[in-house]
Amino acid sequence: MRRTSVVKRTSSVKPTIAVKSTSPAKRTGSVLGAVLLAASLLVSCSSDAPPDGSPSAPAGSGAPDDDAGREAEFFAQEEYDQQLSLMGRSPEGPEGRPWEQMLIPEMIPTEEYALPEAEAADIHLCFSNAGVFNPWRQVGMTTMEEEVAQHEEITEFTVIDAEGQDDKQISDIQELAGQDCDALIVSPNTTATLTPAVEEACGRVPVIVFDRGVNTDCPVTFIHPIGGYAYGAAAADFLVDEVDPGGKILALRISPGVDVLENRWSAAELAFEESELEVVDVEFTDGDPATAKSVVTDAIQRHGGIDGVWMDSGATSVAAIEAFEDAGEEVPPITGEDQQDFLQAWSERDLTALAPTYPTFQWRTPVIAALRVLAGEEVPEEWRLPQPTITEDDLESYVRADMPPLHYAMCGCEDMPGYPQAWGG
Amino acid sequence: MTTETPTTPKAPGRPARIAALLGGGAPVYALLAALLVALAVTDPGFYEPDRLLAFIRRAAPLVLLAAGQYLVIVCGQFDLSVGAIVTAGVVVAAELYSEFPGAHWLVVCAVLLGAGALVGLVNGLITTGLGVPSFITTLGMMLILEGGVFFWTGGSPQGYLPDDFRAIGRDDVFGGLPWAVLVCAVVGAGAVALMRSGFGRTLIATGDSERAAALSGVRVHRVRTVAFVLSGAAAALAAVLVGGFSGVSAQAGSGLEFEAITAVVLGGVLLGGGRGSVVAAMAGAFSLTALFTLLNLQGVSGALESTVQGAIVIAAVGLGAADWSRLRRRSPSRGGPPS
């Protein structure tokens, strides 16, 4: 099978959950204008982090808390309520294959896109990727490539990497729409800016959007896990259950102003407000373990101990755990994500922990959806994937000592032929 | 401006001698003292021995980088590649361990130091031999290393750093004295000794006036290259500490080059070379770390933190530069015996 892959990688080394414009945010006592100028040239900005679903969450409809401002901007009550209710529902679809499951699906017909029989075994699939600028997206990209490799009818798979730039992705989508793609998968870098480009492509080729959404319903389907509110709430509810009332909670966040991360935090903030826990500190770590370790160490000292740690993503969770160990304190209940290093630390040290996920198995689904659409089978209009949370009970089934520390366990890739080598195992 | 003509500049008075001893770094010592007092007020427990040592341990990588950066800056150059060397060092160590799981930590450290020195050598040879400005050379090196790390690891480093390697950045030698503090002290003493040696004087002379130094027989190219090599090795040593402290991360060193340059400049070292003391540069690194700690303890959060840092740093450097020149010009007449 022939595969053209036009994957260019960014020169910027900001692979762990990178943040918008990195180095000024990092502790850069900026003295040298020239040096900083150089820095801003070097460190290309990239929006980042596992971007969440919630298509264009409408701004602030009914923020529940009084401190308005930023929180309200990133909080939508309706979306919040829906996500929380979805976490309790069981999905439809094949057992044990969550990437094919769906929650409250509204199926739509796709006969209009069905390929004639002669072409059905010679599919050209195209993918406009926002970028591979963090480990989450790298694990996802590998997973998608392996999914494609499983389908012989896909004879050509073209990937163009936008390197985290909206303008590049706009031209990427235009370029791909002009090629002879049978279907176009888009993982938008940002929601609003990419909408016109996706709308334009919709008229020429069936489009499937996943991960982050766009402000139009022209794509055949939009695939995403439940979302950021559910993530943040799951982690916060765990701490509310595990930490005694009056306990001191440290919240570690990557950076302010990134919608997906704000969603996670606003849901957690709400849960903490309703509880008897006290959030003593909300700190930003830039996703840097050294910063995180210092921040946690300082917090332990300043407050004479911390009773629970909430994190908006897992990149620095091991550093946080070590900070407690180095301070000679017992590690309190802590939430992370499904990175291997955290899961292994949790298992080895027998911690009280929880790992909400933003599953990387969602990268398999667009390929499956594309094949269904091209076969004229019905798909859900909005394909809501389950969003599992790793708990103490099923932890051991996700720990893989042979996988890289930043491998995301919820990849749904264990049954694929390339596992584990393709993922670095 | 005083109307007195400076008398015999050869016989400086006591304050001038003290100023000379401090190498023009007086403002940074004042700043450091102020920050330490502020820390004590904010958090009375700060001066408990283990917490103080923990603070020094946290500052150690930056102190090493500042010492290395000082050597390069004082001879009139820049080294922007140190942050990338730290990142590459941490990632390379992890990759080495995934290839050779049983490797002795001393061997891995030696490999890292050698590689860091090699990168410095390349920086130095290109800068001096080809006449490429060091700003460009080391900027290019930074990009090459960052790109190389990204290409090699795919952005997601493999492997772990075992506990014996991490001990240097994380554990104590004995009786609560962290390894990092010991390393920091040894490197600091070494740097002071180096700057008092003939090499140190030629280094400063080279930064002061390359032509004058060359005419008096200094091999400027060699001196500068050695400075780059030492800076590279110091960065590799910092990588060992950073990797030990916080583990594998593909952004372990991001931004450290700016922090190191900031620390050196805070220490009153003249950009362009020829003036400044290595002790003051290292004090600059401590000041910067103290400032970060203070901001954190004060609860200055998120985006505002970098703004506050920037403002304080600019103010401190501006103040420092002004004081320095005045001190230098006035001290002979003010401190000397009345004529």
| Tens of pLDDT, residues B160-210 | 788 888 888 888 887 778 899 999 999 999 999 999 999 999 999 999 988
Together in a domain, A191 and A108? yes
- A90 belongs to a structural domain: no
| Tens of pLDDT, residues B42-52 | 888 788 887 88
Q: A228-242 vs A259-274: helix axis angle to the nearest 10?
A: 30
Evaluate if residue B334 carries a pLDDT over 80: no
| Tens of pLDDT, residues B109-150 | 999 999 999 999 999 999 999 999 999 999 999 999 998 888
Whether B291 has its CB under 8 Å from any CB of chain A: the answer is yes
Mean pLDDT for the stretch of residues A336-359: 93
CA distances from A171 to A84, A167, A180, A199 (A): 37, 7, 16, 13
CATH for the stretch B22-324? 1.10.3470
Could you give the ipTM of this predicted complex?
0.72
Whether A282 has its CB under 8 Å from any CB of chain B: the answer is yes
pLDDT of residue A47: 38
Together in a domain, A208 and A277? no
Specify which residues A124 forms β-bridges with.
A156
Whole-angstrom distance, CA of residue B293 vs CA of residue B331: 35
Domain that holds residue A270: 228-356
pLDDT of residue B313: 66
- Quote the minimal CA–CA distance from B191 to chain A in Å: 24
Select from A254, A292, A250, A253 the least CA-distant residue to A272: A250
pLDDT of residue A30: 38
A31:B262 CB<8 A: yes
Together in a domain, A337 and A383? no
B246:A289 CB<8 A: yes
pLDDT of residue B271: 78
| Tens of pLDDT, residues B263-310 | 888 888 887 788 889 999 999 999 988 988 888 777 665 556 667 667
Together in a domain, A282 and A312? yes
A404:B288 CB<8 A: no
Whole-angstrom distance, CA of residue B270 vs CA of residue B77: 11
- A21 belongs to a structural domain: no
Whole-angstrom distance, CA of residue A155 vs CA of residue A373: 17
Together in a domain, A346 and A232? yes
Together in a domain, A183 and A102? yes
Together in a domain, A264 and A328? yes
pLDDT of residue A69: 42
B157:A30 CB<8 A: no
Mean pLDDT for the stretch of residues B66-87: 94
Whole-angstrom distance, CA of residue A348 vs CA of residue A325: 13
- A117 belongs to a structural domain: yes
- A8 belongs to a structural domain: no
Structural domain count of chain A: 2
- A292 belongs to a structural domain: yes
B297:A302 CB<8 A: yes
Evaluate if residue B15 carries a pLDDT over 80: no
Question: Nearest residue on chain A to B271, judged by CA atoms?
Answer: A32
- Quote the minimal CA–CA distance from B296 to chain A in Å: 7
A283:B301 CB<8 A: yes
pLDDT of residue A106: 93
- A405 belongs to a structural domain: no
Together in a domain, A350 and A233? yes
B299 to chain A: which residues are within 8 Å by CB? 281
Together in a domain, A212 and A234? no
Evaluate if residue B6 carries a pLDDT over 70: no
- A416 belongs to a structural domain: no
Whether A339 has its CB under 8 Å from any CB of chain B: the answer is no
Point out the residue among B247, B261, B263 whose CB comes nearest to the CB of A35: B261
In sequence order, which residues have a C-beta less than 8 Å from that of residue B158 and are 6 or more positions away?
Answer: A404, A405, A424, B94, B95, B98
Where is pLDDT greater, at A113 or A48?
A113
Together in a domain, A174 and A124? yes
Point out the residue among B248, B249, B258 whose CB comes nearest to the CB of A288: B249
B261:A31 CB<8 A: yes
Question: Nearest residue on chain A to B79, judged by CA atoms?
Answer: A35
- A87 belongs to a structural domain: no
Residue B194's H or E segment, with its range, is helix B179-196
Evaluate if residue A18 carries a pLDDT over 70: no
Amino acid, res. A388: P
In sequence order, which residues have a C-beta less than 8 Å from that of residue A41 and are 6 or more positions away?
Answer: none
Per-residue confidence at A89, pLDDT binned at 50, 70, 90? confident
| Tens of pLDDT, residues A211-227 | 988 889 999 999 999 98
Whether A256 has its CB under 8 Å from any CB of chain B: the answer is yes
